[in-house]
Amino acid sequence: MEETLKRMLAELQTIKEGQSKIEQRMEALESGQKDLKYDIQKQINGLTEKILEKIDQKTTEIKSEVRHVATTQEEQRSVIDLLSSRSIQHEAALKRKN
């Protein structure tokens, strides 16, 4: 009976050691997950920042192009007004000659 108790205690000790190793591995896994989560979040933040910078850059470029187009349209409108005025004056001059 005493021998059986000794074997049972030895088996319990083995189980406790195995359980302790499992707990250590779980702690290492949890730590690794936290590190991985931190790294992923850091990468996401970096990418988000780069995307926002690109959006700002493209927005600035688009605004510049829109200003250029608006300026060109205004210049064209001015030329059309001038040509219209000259055309009216030319037509009036032709009618006076006739």
Tens digit of each residue's pLDDT (9 = 90 or more) over 38-82: 999 999 999 999 999 999 999 999 999 999 999 999 999 999 999
Report the Cα–Cα distance between both ends of the chain, in Å, rounded: 141
The pTM assigned to this predicted structure is 0.58
The answer on pLDDT for 98 being more than 80 is no
Phi, psi of 15 (to 5 degrees): -65, -45
**Alpha-carbon distances, residue 93 vs 13, 23, 76, 84, 96 (angstroms):** 118, 103, 25, 14, 5
